Structure 1
């Protein structure tokens, strides 16, 4: 009887019922469950990490398209620069003694024909001299006619004995002298007319007038220099400077493409002359490339040219495969370990078919065809062979 009251007295101060004690146990149970779940997740994460790392490693190796270019017959081109000029540049000056310029008939850019009058010089004095000589011819001809008549009459009388043989000879000599004076007067007139004709400045051949340095009222003479420059038949040329090795690879007849500086037009031409000597200072020679007339081709200007000098086998790549930086042109190839390797190259002829590689590749390499700008040397890649060049 005394035990139960003591127990009740001991528990009474706590004031806790069975339901209250159960509620206080729940947070502890939940905490234990959370800790157990976290431990289980950590175990699973540690178990799955190697597999995930393997998957991520595979995902980081990018696929790239590669091609094996091989060898293709491509036209071998030589690049050169030079000055534009008339193929045959004809200077025109004063042929005769000159004088006062009366009129100029052409301007630069005018097409002229052979013998066409370019300018005329005053000839008033020369015209009077020619008229005087023409009159002298008539006088000499009249004297010759009289001498011939007297000779004819003397021949009729010599048989009758009225005129001696000696008189007949003298009259014959008189007639011959008169005829000679006629010829002298005719020759003097012809000379004067030829001199007068040289006062006209005429085109020596058909072509295009390039320059004019003469005006009406100007006095010109033998020391006046070049008054007109004419490009014969309007033909132009590029005087391309080539190194000694390149000069040895070109020949007369090789085709070329000429592009004047500042123009996008390309003009077809051909080599018509190769310099037989090399400048000992520059080690260069001149290949003269003939091109047809076009207003965009201006003598004295500068132009570039691509000269075709036969065909040779070379790797042919799409332009997307060729990269460039401050060190020059290069391509990326994939080696046997599927690693990216940078290879410097020299680009040859570029056409719609692609760009030929003059040096740096043999054609057996696996060349990255596209997206090379996103790769780095030594990077691992998954090569995908391209069967057909784009």
Structure 2
């Protein structure tokens, strides 16, 4: 869904009476004073605030949680001990592996010595081929058994090391999934004990952009967004990644757009829903006129069929047609790249009779405010508390 935003400069609506052609009847015109303005087109989307880096900490061994040293929102450092698993069962397995290793080593040493002795006798033709083959076979089995016993012992030693759970990054604990005394089982999937976010001062928004709009989104585009937790604040960011994988939900295809979201004062919380405006067009300090001014032709006047024209109010109250060149448009206003200059009065239409009567009693109204829509998101700096990078 697209929205259009315009912040025109100060455009004062005037009631001006001018002669129309050769007629003596006077017409009241709506006019605007040309001042520097801005045009912006946006794409709206909904997203979720999340940390840039988030790690799930698990365990590679089964056992009972003996100690937990951190809780929700705890700040941790890389390598910090955050939990321990009871080691009694694993220590027993280590002792068993060590005994098996010693037994295998003794058997290996004996079979090695026996093989060397039989081999020497075999080379002197003092033992049969069968005796030699049997000695070789026993020695080979002893070698394999000793190798396996060493591997089992090393594995038991590593498992003992896995009972100390350390933080893999600097960050903050977002969640703790276990309590002391709870049993965890490490099977085909590693159970998650803690979720740690790297740095909550550097957040991002993952926004789902409709397939009809994704072609206009580019990296580096300016973004504003709001969250329900702070409805008066406008947060700022920029597009840093457009992911190629499409997501289809109820036959609606969307693409994930990653938005950088600085969070120096930690107001943004992981999981907040963000209403995002991506500025696909944003031009500042330009001359703009309402589109109706390009279509308006006063009674008794004509303009050429080709090109764009507006009617300018002269100092003496007469009107003159002015050829102009147009640029970008947001659907309400159009950029004027040539033909007008700051301070000139441009006619945008006839003054309505009811509006004229009201202004006669209360003063003139502002034409720019009548062109704005309450449904359009404000540009940064227009009545919002904007949070900048």
TM-score of the two chains, using structure 2 as the length reference = 0.55
* Map of 2:146 onto structure 1: 182
Structure 2 runs not aligned, ≥5 long: 1-29, 290-310, 318-327, 348-353, 365-389
Deviations 1:166-206 (A, max 9, x none): 43433333222221211121233244445545555455666
Tell me the alpha carbon deviations over residues 100-159 of structure 1, each in whole angstroms, 9 at most, x when there is no partner.
101123333445567765422112112111111112111111121122223333444455
2:271 pairs, out of 275, 293, 300, with 300
Deviation at 1:68, TM superposition (A): 1.8
Distance 1:276 1:105 in 2: 41
Any idea what the Cα deviations from partners look like across 1:313-357, whole Å, max 9, x if unmatched? 86559xxxxxxxxxxxxxxx997997xxxxxxxxxxxxxxxxx98
Provide the residue aligned with 2:50 in structure 1: 85
* Change in 2 beyond 3 A, CA 1:268/1:151: same
Aligned to 2:107: 143
**1:299 CA drift (Å):** 0.6
2:222 matched residue in structure 1? 255
Structure with the greater alpha carbon radius of gyration: 1
| Runs of 5+ unmatched residues, structure 1 | 1-63, 318-332, 339-355, 369-374, 383-390
Cα deviations across residues 286-308 of structure 1 (Å, max 9, x unaligned)? Answer: 53313345422211223344423
- In the alignment of these two chains, the number of paired residues is 280
The aligned residue for residue 287 of structure 1 is 257
Tell me the secondary structure at the aligned position of residue 108 of structure 2.
helix
Measure how far apart 1:266 and its partner are.
3.6
User: Which of 332, 354, 362 pairs up with 1:360?
Assistant: 332
Q: Secondary structure at the match of 2:89?
A: helix
For 2:195, which of 229, 251, 255 is the aligned residue? Answer: 229
Question: Quick one: distance in 1 between partners of 2:212 and 2:138?
Answer: 79
Out of 109, 131, 135, the position equivalent to 2:95 is: 131
Mapped partners of 2:103, 2:224: distance in 1: 68
- Could you say what secondary structure the match of 1:209 adopts? strand
Check the 8 A contact 1:114/1:204 in 2, yes or no: yes
State the TM-score, normalizing by the size of structure 1. 0.55
Contact 2:246/2:254 (CA < 8 Å) preserved in 1?
no
Equivalent in the alignment of 1:349: none
Select the structure that is richer in strand: 2
Identify, as 1 or 2, the structure richer in helix: 1
Q: Which residue of 1 aligns with 2:280?
A: 309
Distance 1:243 1:177 in 2: 65
Tell me, yes or no, if the aligned pair for 1:315 and 1:357 is still in contact at 8 Å: no
Q: Which residue of 1 aligns with 2:10?
A: none
Report the CA distance shift for 1:280/1:68 in structure 2 as closer, same or farther (over 3 A): farther
Distance 1:148 1:218 in 2: 48
CA distance in 2, matches of 1:194, 1:69: 73
After the TM superposition, which of the residue ranges 79-88 and 136-145 deviates more from structure 2?
79-88
